């Protein structure tokens, strides 16, 4: 299968080239030329398999150059019991008869980024060999919190890789920051950027296209790549868990073969929900894709009005991993809906020049047929956390709560009670402060003591990787202005 740029489909690459590059040479996103269809009895077959085998089966459909043996080794290493604290890897928790929560945070950093970032280093190092690349890959990450830690943990000590993470100084939770600045490994670097996530992301994008930085790097034997969700190696492993969740529901006889489900995803960069869209394109019986946002509701407006407009107030919310105004992966959806690279190029140029574009009537119709957009503010987020805990004894984090709010709004507006899969993207212990407040605590303990407070309140233990932070040494303290990220790269590579 070939991978093309969303902005020019004469730019073509193999899967391994796409994974090594991260981004197309024209700034577009590398995307499969077509989405393969699941064979007729695939779901029946997958139903009986473990998560790792499901991952091999699905990923192989997109990665012809990789053997079953290779992919099996990758899946066993990425999703094994040393990494995930649930044998199901991504278990489905049924909240009530037709509401199912897909828990994507059982990995080493307690957020859904692990689902892809435990797999990506295996795909990338094998791709370096397949493409005969001899330089060391320097992975640059801009993070709203969870990607950074996920990437650091996935790539630490992986030969022939360096990983540098930039996070917004005041845009991440205390636990998230501690997770990153205490990162172990001989090939890792972390710096805080003065600004918000978009500043960090824009800074990283500029580094990628900075010719001088590129040349300096090359002289040192490095080249840049990306572990942000624009890399195809990030999106692909995410398709697996939607198909897996459906198979679990089939296996447990919670749905009938062929029955449609809706999927609701708390969304930031549009990577996670895009994976659900691709699962649907492959033939998974998904009816509606419900896109949940916080007060940074640029996607809600886009879905409702067909106008993407990033010129708006930016909010720091209690669901910081969704505090994003430029959803990079939306470009892949635009390509899928238009099948026209020139049209995508036009929209992206508008976004770049004036921060706003309006899609054609045809694209808007297609978009609205498949996607529904809802958002909620912090107060509603906390109401949902409390209600979920009081009614069902089920503890959820702030991002997951935004998704449950969106589902509730969708159901009451449409009366559609189709079984729904809600993506749960982080452990509630990652966002202790907000969760404790939601549960009615007025005094929140500082730093890691909040973990104990949440345990005392709910009787649930904190995940081991978070509890273990207490004994870790802070290794990284650098804070950079957004204009000085190139210097930071050079100093971290010394």
Known catalytic residues are 113
Q: DSSP letter string over 105-148?
A: --STTSBTHHHHHTTHHHHHHHHHHHTT--SEEEEEEE-SSHHH
Q: In 247-278, which positions are buried (b, 16+ CB within 10 angstroms) versus exposed (e)?
A: bbbbeeebbeeeeebbbbbbbbbbbbbbbbbb
Strand order through the sheet with 286-293: 92-96, 99-103, 420-424, 261-266, 286-293, 371-375
**Cα distance between residue 373 and residue 361, in whole Å:** 18
Looking only at residues 214 through 233 of this chain, which bind ligand PLP when binding is defined by CB under 6 A?
Answer: 229
Contacting ligand PLP (CB under 6 A), which of 29, 192, 359, 426?
A: 426
* Choice between 28 and 268, CB closer to ligand PLP: 268
Q: Which of 5, 16, 262, 425 binds ligand PLP (CB under 6 A)?
A: 425
Task: Compute the C-alpha angle 441/444/450, nearest 5°.
Answer: 110
Is-contact 110 145, C-beta < 8 A? no
Q: Which of 6, 99, 226, 269 binds ligand PLP (CB under 6 A)?
A: 269
CB closer to ligand PLP out of 147 and 225:
147
Of 54-62, 105-113, 353-361, 409-417, the segment contacting ligand PLP by CB under 6 A is 105-113
Both tokens assigned to 223 = 């080249």
Q: Which of 249, 322, 401, 422 binds ligand PLP (CB under 6 A)?
A: 322
Going by their DSSP bridges, the two strands 420-424 and 261-266 should be labelled as parallel
Nearest CA to 340 out of 355, 313, 308, 362 is that of: 362
| Binding-site size, ligand PLP (CB under 6 A) | 17
Please pick, from the candidates 266, 373, 428, 465, the single residue that binds ligand PLP as defined by CB under 6 A: 266
Minimum Å distance from CB 316 to ligand PLP?
15
Q: Which is nearer to ligand PLP, 9 or 228 (CB)?
A: 228
Q: Counting contacts by CB under 6 A, is residue 427 touching ligand PLP?
A: no
> Pairing state of beta strands 420-424 and 30-32?
unpaired
Q: What is the DSSP string of 446-463?
A: -TTHHHHHHHHHH-PPPP
The tokens describing 187, both together, are 């090939």
Q: Length of the chain, please?
A: 494
As measured in angstroms, the least distance from the Cβ of 269 to ligand PLP is 3
Task: Determine contact, residues 322/296, Cβ cutoff 8 Å.
Answer: yes
For ligand PLP, which is the closer residue by CB, 225 or 427?
Answer: 427
Q: Is 272 helix (H, G, I), strand (E, B) or coil?
A: helix
Binder to ligand PLP among 121, 271, 341, 463 (CB under 6 A)? Answer: 271
Q: Under the criterion CB under 6 A, does residue 321 sit at the interface with ligand PLP?
A: yes
From the list 321, 343, 280, the residue with the least C-alpha distance to 431 is 321
- Please give the Cα distance from 404 to 101 (Å, whole number): 9
321 or 434: whose CB is closer to ligand PLP? 321
Encoding tokens for residue 467? 């509890």
With CB under 6 A as the contact rule, which of the stretches 253-261, 267-275, 341-349, 481-489 interacts with ligand PLP? 267-275
Which CB sits closer to ligand PLP, 268 or 419? 268
CA-CA distances (angstroms) from residue 390 to 105, 163, 215, 400, 435? 22, 42, 57, 16, 13
Q: Which is nearer to ligand PLP, 9 or 238 (CB)?
A: 238
172 CB burial (10 A radius; 0-12, 13-18, 19+): buried
Residue choice 3, 79, 241, 270 for contact with ligand PLP (CB under 6 A): 270
- Terminal alpha carbon distance of the chain: 39
Which CB, 9 or 267, lies closer to ligand PLP? Answer: 267
Where do the DSSP E strands lie in 344-478?
356-358, 371-375, 420-424
Q: Among the candidate windows 84-92, 261-269, 343-351, 435-443, which touches ligand PLP by CB under 6 A?
A: 261-269
Among the candidate windows 46-54, 111-119, 218-226, 379-387, which touches ligand PLP by CB under 6 A?
A: 111-119
Interface residue with ligand PLP among 47, 106, 113, 205 (CB under 6 A) is 113
What is the x/- site pattern for ligand PLP, positions 388-417, by CB under 6 A?
A: -----------x------------------
Site stretch for ligand PLP (CB under 6 A), options 106-114, 155-163, 334-342, 380-388: 106-114
Q: How far is the CB of 112 from ligand PLP (least distance, A)?
A: 6
CA pair distance 163, 156, nearest whole angstrom: 8
Identify the residue among 103, 114, 146, 343 touching ligand PLP (CB under 6 A).
Answer: 146
| Identity of the residue, 282 or 426, whose beta carbon is nearer to ligand PLP in the bound complex | 426
113 C-beta neighbours (distance < 10 Å), count: 32
The Cα 246–Cα 249 span in angstroms is 5
Q: Does 419 bind ligand PLP (CB under 6 A)?
A: no
Instruction: Choose, by CB under 6 A, the member of 111, 163, 190, 348 that binds ligand PLP.
Output: 111
Query: Which positions lie near ligand PLP, rule CB under 6 A?
Result: 111-113, 146, 229, 266-272, 321-322, 399, 425-426
């Amino acid at each position: 299968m070939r991978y093309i740029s969303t902005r020019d489909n004469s730019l073509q690459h193999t899967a391994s080239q796409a994974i090594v590059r991260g981004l197309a040479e024209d700034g577009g996103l590398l995307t499969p030329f077509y989405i393969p269809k699941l064979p007729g009895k695939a779901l029946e077959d997958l139903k009986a398999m473990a998560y790792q085998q499901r991952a091999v089966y699905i990923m192989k459909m997109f990665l012809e150059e990789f053997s079953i043996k290779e992919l099996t080794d990758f899946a066993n290493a990425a999703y094994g019991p040393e990494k995930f604290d649930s044998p199901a890897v991504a278990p489905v928790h049924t909240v009530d008869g037709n509401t199912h929560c897909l828990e994507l945070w059982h990995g080493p950093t307690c957020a859904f980024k692990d689902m892809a970032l435990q797999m990506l280093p295996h795909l990338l190092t094998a791709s370096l060999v397949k493409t005969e690349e001899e330089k060391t890959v320097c992975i640059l990450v801009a993070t709203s919190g969870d990607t950074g830690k996920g990437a650091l943990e996935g790539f630490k000590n992986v030969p022939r890789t360096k990983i540098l993470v930039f996070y917004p100084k005041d845009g991440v939770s205390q636990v998230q920051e501690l997770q990153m600045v205490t990162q172990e490994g001989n090939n890792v670097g972390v710096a805080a950027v003065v600004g918000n996530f978009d500043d960090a992301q824009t800074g990283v994008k500029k580094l990628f296209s900075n010719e001088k930085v590129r040349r300096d790097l090359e002289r040192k034997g490095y080249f840049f790549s990306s572990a942000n969700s624009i890399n195809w190696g990030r999106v692909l492993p995410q398709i697996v868990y939607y198909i897996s969740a459906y198979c679990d529901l089939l296996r447990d006889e919670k749905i009938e073969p062929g029955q449609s489900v809706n999927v609701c995803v708390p969304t930031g960069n549009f990577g996670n929900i895009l994976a659900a869209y691709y699962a649907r394109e492959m033939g998974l019986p998904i009816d509606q894709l419900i896109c949940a946002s916080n007060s940074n509701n640029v996607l809600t407006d886009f879905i409702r009005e067909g106008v993407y407009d990033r010129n708006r107030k930016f909010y720091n919310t209690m669901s910081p991993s969704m505090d994003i105004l430029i959803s990079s992966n939306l470009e892949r959806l635009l390509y899928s809906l238009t099948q026209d690279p020139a049209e995508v190029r036009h929209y992206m140029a508008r976004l770049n020049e004036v921060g706003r574009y309006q899609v054609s009537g045809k694209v808007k119709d297609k978009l609205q047929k498949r996607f529904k957009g809802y958002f909620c503010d912090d107060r509603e987020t906390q109401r949902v956390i409390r209600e979920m805990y009081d009614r069902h004894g089920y503890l959820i984090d702030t991002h997951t709560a935004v998704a449950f709010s969106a589902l509730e709004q969708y159901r009451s507006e449409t009366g559609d009670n189709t079984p729904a899969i809600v993506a749960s993207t982080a452990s509630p212990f990652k966002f202790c402060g907000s969760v404790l407040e939601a549960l009615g605590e007025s005094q929140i303990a500082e730093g890691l003591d909040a973990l104990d407070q949440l345990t005392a309140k709910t009787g649930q233990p904190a995940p081991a990787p978070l509890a273990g932070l207490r004994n870790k040494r802070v290794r990284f303290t650098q804070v950079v202005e957004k204009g000085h990220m190139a210097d930071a790269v050079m100093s971290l590579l010394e």
